[in-house]
Amino acid sequence: MIFVTVGTHEQPFTRLVEYMDNWAATHDEEVLIQTGFTPYEPKHCKWQKLFPQKEIYKFNEEARIIITHGGPSCYIDVLRIDKKPIVVPRIHEFGEHIDNHQLEVGREFSKRYGNIILIEDIEELGKAIENYDELSAPMRDKPFVPHSKEFCDGLSKIVDQLFS
Protein backbone atom coordinates (compact mmCIF):
# COMPACT_ATOMS: atom_id res chain seq x y z
CA MET A 1 0.00 0.00 0.00
CA ILE A 2 1.11 3.54 -0.73
CA PHE A 3 -0.07 6.19 1.72
CA VAL A 4 -0.17 9.79 0.53
CA THR A 5 -0.76 12.74 2.84
CA VAL A 6 -1.07 16.39 1.89
CA GLY A 7 -1.20 17.58 5.49
CA THR A 8 -3.80 19.96 6.89
CA HIS A 9 -2.82 23.19 5.12
CA GLU A 10 -5.94 24.95 3.84
CA GLN A 11 -4.74 25.40 0.25
CA PRO A 12 -5.43 22.49 -2.12
CA PHE A 13 -2.71 20.19 -3.39
CA THR A 14 -4.53 19.02 -6.51
CA ARG A 15 -1.29 18.43 -8.41
CA LEU A 16 -0.23 15.59 -6.06
CA VAL A 17 -3.68 14.11 -5.45
CA GLU A 18 -4.56 14.00 -9.16
CA TYR A 19 -1.13 12.62 -10.10
CA MET A 20 -1.46 9.76 -7.61
CA ASP A 21 -5.02 9.01 -8.70
CA ASN A 22 -3.84 8.75 -12.31
CA TRP A 23 -0.89 6.62 -11.22
CA ALA A 24 -3.20 4.26 -9.33
CA ALA A 25 -5.39 3.86 -12.42
CA THR A 26 -2.54 2.12 -14.24
CA HIS A 27 -0.84 0.23 -11.39
CA ASP A 28 -1.86 -2.70 -9.25
CA GLU A 29 -1.05 -1.32 -5.82
CA GLU A 30 -3.50 0.11 -3.33
CA VAL A 31 -3.16 3.86 -2.86
CA LEU A 32 -4.71 5.63 0.14
CA ILE A 33 -4.77 9.43 0.07
CA GLN A 34 -5.50 12.00 2.73
CA THR A 35 -6.65 14.79 0.39
CA GLY A 36 -7.03 17.64 2.89
CA PHE A 37 -8.65 20.70 1.34
CA THR A 38 -8.11 19.51 -2.23
CA PRO A 39 -11.44 19.64 -4.13
CA TYR A 40 -10.43 16.88 -6.59
CA GLU A 41 -11.96 13.54 -5.57
CA PRO A 42 -9.87 10.52 -6.54
CA LYS A 43 -11.57 7.85 -8.64
CA HIS A 44 -8.96 5.07 -8.44
CA CYS A 45 -7.82 5.38 -4.80
CA LYS A 46 -9.26 5.09 -1.37
CA TRP A 47 -9.31 8.57 0.12
CA GLN A 48 -10.61 10.78 2.86
CA LYS A 49 -10.22 14.51 3.38
CA LEU A 50 -8.69 14.21 6.85
CA PHE A 51 -7.76 11.30 9.10
CA PRO A 52 -7.25 11.40 12.86
CA GLN A 53 -3.54 11.47 13.74
CA LYS A 54 -3.78 8.00 15.26
CA GLU A 55 -4.91 6.60 11.89
CA ILE A 56 -2.12 8.42 10.06
CA TYR A 57 0.42 6.77 12.37
CA LYS A 58 -1.22 3.40 11.61
CA PHE A 59 -1.12 3.99 7.85
CA ASN A 60 2.53 5.07 8.08
CA GLU A 61 3.35 1.78 9.81
CA GLU A 62 1.42 -0.32 7.28
CA ALA A 63 2.47 1.43 4.07
CA ARG A 64 5.20 0.17 1.79
CA ILE A 65 5.79 3.75 0.61
CA ILE A 66 4.75 7.02 2.25
CA ILE A 67 4.45 10.13 0.10
CA THR A 68 4.09 13.40 1.99
CA HIS A 69 3.78 17.04 1.14
CA GLY A 70 6.77 19.14 2.16
CA GLY A 71 5.68 19.87 5.72
CA PRO A 72 8.64 18.73 7.86
CA SER A 73 6.47 17.37 10.67
CA CYS A 74 4.90 14.89 8.21
CA TYR A 75 8.15 13.49 6.94
CA ILE A 76 9.83 13.56 10.35
CA ASP A 77 7.00 11.34 11.64
CA VAL A 78 7.88 8.88 8.86
CA LEU A 79 11.61 9.05 9.60
CA ARG A 80 10.95 8.36 13.28
CA ILE A 81 9.60 4.91 12.36
CA ASP A 82 12.73 4.30 10.27
CA LYS A 83 11.05 4.61 6.88
CA LYS A 84 12.25 6.86 4.08
CA PRO A 85 9.53 9.16 2.73
CA ILE A 86 9.03 10.50 -0.74
CA VAL A 87 8.54 14.25 -0.22
CA VAL A 88 6.66 16.41 -2.74
CA PRO A 89 6.81 20.05 -1.64
CA ARG A 90 3.89 22.39 -2.24
CA ILE A 91 4.85 25.14 -4.69
CA HIS A 92 3.73 28.76 -4.47
CA GLU A 93 3.36 29.32 -8.22
CA PHE A 94 0.76 26.51 -8.34
CA GLY A 95 -1.27 28.11 -5.53
CA GLU A 96 -0.37 25.31 -3.11
CA HIS A 97 1.20 27.49 -0.42
CA ILE A 98 1.98 31.11 0.42
CA ASP A 99 5.66 30.74 -0.54
CA ASN A 100 8.21 28.08 -1.45
CA HIS A 101 9.46 27.30 2.05
CA GLN A 102 8.54 23.59 1.70
CA LEU A 103 10.82 23.33 -1.32
CA GLU A 104 13.62 25.29 0.38
CA VAL A 105 13.43 23.31 3.63
CA GLY A 106 13.16 20.03 1.71
CA ARG A 107 16.30 20.81 -0.30
CA GLU A 108 18.26 21.70 2.83
CA PHE A 109 16.95 18.66 4.74
CA SER A 110 17.80 16.34 1.85
CA LYS A 111 21.29 17.84 1.51
CA ARG A 112 22.01 17.80 5.24
CA TYR A 113 20.56 14.40 6.21
CA GLY A 114 20.21 12.48 2.93
CA ASN A 115 17.28 10.43 4.15
CA ILE A 116 14.29 11.69 2.13
CA ILE A 117 13.52 11.30 -1.56
CA LEU A 118 12.76 14.85 -2.65
CA ILE A 119 10.60 15.28 -5.75
CA GLU A 120 10.83 18.75 -7.25
CA ASP A 121 9.20 17.81 -10.57
CA ILE A 122 5.93 15.88 -10.17
CA GLU A 123 6.64 14.05 -13.43
CA GLU A 124 9.52 12.28 -11.62
CA LEU A 125 7.23 10.84 -8.94
CA GLY A 126 6.29 7.70 -10.88
CA LYS A 127 9.97 6.82 -11.40
CA ALA A 128 10.63 7.36 -7.69
CA ILE A 129 7.79 4.99 -6.78
CA GLU A 130 8.95 2.35 -9.27
CA ASN A 131 12.58 2.63 -8.08
CA TYR A 132 11.79 3.19 -4.40
CA ASP A 133 13.76 0.21 -3.07
CA GLU A 134 16.86 1.21 -5.04
CA LEU A 135 16.55 4.91 -4.09
CA SER A 136 15.95 4.24 -0.40
CA ALA A 137 18.61 1.52 0.03
CA PRO A 138 21.56 3.92 0.54
CA MET A 139 19.46 5.80 3.11
CA ARG A 140 19.22 2.81 5.44
CA ASP A 141 22.58 3.83 6.90
CA LYS A 142 21.21 7.29 7.68
CA PRO A 143 18.83 6.96 10.61
CA PHE A 144 16.92 10.00 11.74
CA VAL A 145 18.38 11.45 14.93
CA PRO A 146 16.10 14.10 16.42
CA HIS A 147 17.78 17.02 18.10
CA SER A 148 14.82 17.91 20.30
CA LYS A 149 16.65 17.24 23.57
CA GLU A 150 19.62 19.39 22.57
CA PHE A 151 17.27 22.18 21.48
CA CYS A 152 15.29 22.05 24.73
CA ASP A 153 18.46 21.93 26.83
CA GLY A 154 19.86 24.96 24.98
CA LEU A 155 16.60 26.88 25.31
CA SER A 156 16.43 26.01 29.00
CA LYS A 157 19.93 27.47 29.54
CA ILE A 158 18.92 30.69 27.77
CA VAL A 159 15.77 31.00 29.90
CA ASP A 160 17.77 30.29 33.08
CA GLN A 161 20.26 33.02 32.15
CA LEU A 162 17.46 35.50 31.53
CA PHE A 163 15.98 34.90 34.98
CA SER A 164 19.19 34.59 37.02
pTM as predicted: 0.88
Q: What range does the domain containing 16 cover?
A: 2-162
Compute the distance between CA of residue 7 and CA of residue 59 in angstroms, rounded to an integer. Answer: 14
Residue 152 has pLDDT above 80, yes or no: no
Of residues 137 and 143, more confidence is placed in 137
Residue 157 has pLDDT above 90, yes or no: no
Of residues 159 and 98, more confidence is placed in 98
What is the percent of the chain with per-residue pLDDT over 70, rounded to a whole number? 96
Residue 29 has pLDDT above 80, yes or no: yes
Residue 21 has pLDDT above 70, yes or no: yes
Contact (Cβ atoms closer than 8 angstroms) between residue 60 and residue 66: yes
pLDDT score of 155: 76
Write out pLDDT tens, residues 81-133: 999 999 999 999 999 999 999 999 999 999 989 999 999 999 999 999 999 99
Residue 75 exposed, middle or buried by CB count within 10 Å (0-12, 13-18, 19+): buried
Our count of domains for the chain comes to: 1
Residue 46: give its domain's CATH number: 3.40.50.2000
* 61: region left, alpha or beta (phi > 0 left; psi from -120 to 50 alpha): alpha
Q: What pairs with residue 47 in β-bridges?
A: 33
Compute the distance between CA of residue 68 and CA of residue 7 in angstroms, rounded to an integer. Answer: 8
3-state SS, the chain, equals CEEEECCCCCCCCHHHHHHHHHHHHCCCCCEEEECCCCCCCCCCCEEECCCCHHHHHHHHHHCCEEEEECCHHHHHHHHHCCCCCEEECCCHHHCCCCCCHHHHHHHHHHHHHCCCEECCCHHHHHHHHHCHHHHHHHHHHCCCCCCHHHHHHHHHHHHHHHCC
Compute the distance between CA of residue 62 and CA of residue 112 in angstroms, rounded to an integer. Answer: 28
